[in-house]
Amino acid sequence: MGGYRGGMSEKLSPRVVAELPRELPVIGSLAELVEFIDRRDGVLLRYSKGPWHDAESGVSRDYEADVDLPGLSATPVTPEPWWPRQPEDWIARRVCKYAELGEEEDRYPWLLTGEVAGWGPDHEPLVVEVRPLVRIGRRALDEAKALYQERFDVGRDST
């Protein structure tokens, strides 16, 4: 993989490769979300105004450094093989870690797959060749938040 050079004059694009339906299908519950993720490899989560907006606006940006990133920032939601707890614990935690991003107007969580083009400043995958999958619905989000609060010591750091 070659290095990324900032300051390029052409507009970068994450290239959405799937035909975009007018609306993404919605996952209605945490149980459905866990089952959906379990049936696929490499599922990523993104909070944004949606794949249509992302395709038009281009790649993610590191505003702190004033640099365009070489893809869309996302977070893995597929549980790691070493994870000893239930898959829904991992998934709920991942959904909740970035939930504040969905609190901005018109932003919501959606799942995708794609090619990882690099890693962002917070060690997040930067995705190109984006394939939108589904949108996470309100009930699924609420159930994920409730489970996360119930099963985790939220805010406590790792050592």
pLDDT tens string 107-157: 999 999 999 999 999 999 999 999 999 999 999 999 999 999 999 988 766
Q: Where are the domains of the chain?
A: 26-151
Q: For residue 40, how far is the Cα from the chain centroid?
A: 15
Residue 73 has a CB neighbour count (10 Å cut-off) of 24
pLDDT tens string 34-87: 999 999 999 999 999 999 889 888 889 999 999 999 999 999 999 999 999 999
Can you give the pTM of this predicted structure?
A: 0.83
Residue type, 49: K
User: Residue 66: is it exposed, middle or buried by C-beta count within 10 angstroms (0-12/13-18/19+)?
Assistant: exposed
Residue type, 96: C
Residue 64 has a CB neighbour count (10 Å cut-off) of 7
